[in-house]
Amino acid sequence: MNKDIIGRKKEQESLIRFIQSDESEFIAIYGRRRVGKTFLVRKLLGEQLAFYVTGMDNVTMQDQLLNFTLELRKFSGKEIPVPENWLYAFEALSQYLESLPSGKKIIFMDELPWMDTPKSNFISALEHFWNSWASARSDIKLIVCGSATSWMIDKLINNRGGLHNRLTHRMPIEPFTLQECKQYFDAKGFCYSNREIAECYMVMGGVPFYLKQMQKGLSVAQNIDHLFFEIGCALDGEFDNLYRALFKYSENYIRIVEALSSKGKGLTRQEIIQQTKLANNGGLTTMLKELESCGFIRQYEPFAKQKKDTLFQLTDFFTLFHFRFIQKNRYRDEHFWTSSLGSGIHRAWSGYAFEMLCLSHIAQIKKALGISGVQSLTSSWRSTSSDEGAQIDLVIDRKDQTVNLCEMKYAQKEFVIDKKYDETLRHKITAFQEETQTRKSLQLTFVTTYGVKQNAYSGHVQKEILLEDLFE
């Protein structure tokens, strides 16, 4: 374990185990841009790498081959000619590796999707390298990495050709959890409270690269203005760069996530088509699948509904923040965030973002409820017959004949249930029982920042989850 790596304990343990095995290993590491994939491998294995190359964005096959050869010259110390195709390039790599002393030979090929230029036959050459040479040995550790998650899944993990079932391990790298964000800020000397860390998470998610841009000594609000709204800010243009780096026709993907950003509970496929004007065909299916595989959206079936009622929901914090704030800063106000605090736009955003925060920490919610070992399905629910449009933010449908009906409320202090809201809650529960016809026990559960204030109407709340529980 490397003490310089914050979090990623499970990932470090897995990588070390793969490297120490007595067989050749083909490991695919993938995850969204800026999530820390390259940092993890280089920090943990840097000095052990026998060869390391990073693909180049938007260049020709000849430039990729030149880049590959220059790196091979550095590691081998030999004047290797630039090959005319990828078959020769991998042959040169295998010859270099064969010349090395006995021991584990770790190869790290980063941003692999960029190397697969049109008509380059890159995948075929990689297949040949692994199938005809590397897999027959016991000392080759091939680690490939890429931010274009959809490419990694389609071309490697779900490959139907020569690489079918050839991967020995797949490692998705997820954004930090709240706990890992706290570990990061503590290690860097930031004195942020859990609520401040949560608000930071609600803006940019647990993406290490974004956290790294924050300056010690500035408040969270000051940092957000500094990173996103000041003229020439560090993350200016990040949204467009993020989507362009991942998707070939990024404008269509952006239309989808923009539509989803307007509806917290999500949209059906038909509603997406109506809002985006995109064609209802296989192309849309592919885009939705790729957005999901990259962690920007999720699809789920509402409680007690059929597959045709599947909803697509935005889950990427930075994308939501972009549409709710960055895009609305028409006058280039350098203090747009701090001036928006407490406003209607901030309250609407914080309610939606807090729900996303909870949904990204379901494991922590289940732990706090004491049901980590109980099988469960999570969804939301919306009444189809009630005139008042009753809906429940999060439904945890448990195998032990219990359903947690969760209300998620972001507040600056204890959340107060008044008479009017108590009536709303009663109506929701009644409508849920009548429409779903469930016979399971129902538990009204509140997930809040500081808990529910005890009063005449709080007695119906059977379970409480606090913000600090999400940091476990």
Question: So what's the pLDDT on residue 383?
Answer: 84
Do both 386 and 370 map to the same domain? yes
Question: So what's the pLDDT on residue 148?
Answer: 82
**Which whole number is the average pLDDT over 29-39?**
92
**Which whole number is the average pLDDT over 175-203?**
96
Instruction: Give residue 339's Cα distance to chain centre.
Output: 29
Question: So what's the pLDDT on residue 293?
Answer: 85
| 133 falls within a domain | yes
| CA dist., res. 298 & res. 312, Å (int) | 6
Tokens 């020709």 sit at which residue? 60
Band (1; pLDDT cuts 50, 70, 90): confident
Band (441; pLDDT cuts 50, 70, 90): very high
User: How open is the CA angle 355-370-445, to the nearest 5 degrees?
Assistant: 40
Higher-pLDDT residue of 15, 154:
15
Neighbours of 348 (CB within 10 A): 12
Question: So what's the pLDDT on residue 306?
Answer: 61
Do both 66 and 149 map to the same domain? yes
- Lookup: tokens for 321: 């923040």
Percent of the chain scoring above 90 in pLDDT: 81
243: which residues sit within 8 A by CB, 6+ positions away? 250, 253, 254
Do both 369 and 425 map to the same domain? yes
| 100 φ, ψ (degrees, to nearest 5) | -80, 155
Do both 225 and 342 map to the same domain? yes
Do both 212 and 271 map to the same domain? no
| 154 falls within a domain | yes
Digit-coded pLDDT (tens) for 366-399: 999 999 999 999 988 888 775 566 889 899 999 9
Do both 156 and 186 map to the same domain? no
Question: So what's the pLDDT on residue 246?
Answer: 85
| 4 falls within a domain | no
Band (164; pLDDT cuts 50, 70, 90): confident
391: which residues sit within 8 A by CB, 6+ positions away? 265, 380, 381, 382, 383, 428
Digit-coded pLDDT (tens) for 67-90: 999 999 999 999 999 999 999 999
- Lookup: tokens for 407: 């209300």
- Lookup: tokens for 150: 């959809």
277: domain CATH number? 1.10.10.10
> Average pLDDT over the chain, rounded to whole?
93
| CA dist., res. 374 & res. 398, Å (int) | 7
* Residue 3: DSSP 8-state: T
Do both 232 and 246 map to the same domain? no
pTM: 0.90
Do both 217 and 149 map to the same domain? no
| 284 falls within a domain | yes
Neighbours of 403 (CB within 10 A): 23
Sign of CA dihedral 275, 277, 281, 287: negative
Higher-pLDDT residue of 264, 98:
98
Q: Considering its fold, how many domains does the chain have in total?
A: 4
Domain closes at, from 311, 333, 353: 353
- Lookup: tokens for 160: 């139907």
Do both 388 and 294 map to the same domain? no
159: which residues sit within 8 A by CB, 6+ positions away? 123, 166
Tokens 């009536």 sit at which residue? 423
Do both 15 and 141 map to the same domain? yes
Among 149, 197, 400, 196, smallest CA distance to 297 is for 149
| CA dist., res. 264 & res. 419, Å (int) | 26
Digit-coded pLDDT (tens) for 306-364: 666 789 999 999 999 999 999 988 778 899 999 999 899 999 999 999 999 999 999 99
394: domain CATH number? 3.40.1350
Digit-coded pLDDT (tens) for 128-155: 999 999 999 999 999 999 988 888 888 8
pLDDT above 80 (res 61): yes
Digit-coded pLDDT (tens) for 406-427: 999 999 999 999 999 999 999 9
Do both 336 and 412 map to the same domain? no
Among 283, 306, 356, smallest CA distance to 273 is for 283
303: left (phi > 0), else alpha (psi -120 to 50), else beta?
Answer: beta
Q: Alpha helix locations (H) across 142-264?
A: 149-151, 178-187, 194-204, 208-212, 220-228, 238-246, 250-260
37: domain CATH number? 3.40.50.300
Do both 164 and 51 map to the same domain? yes
**Taking a C-beta distance cutoff of 8 angstroms, is the pair 276, 254 a contact?**
no
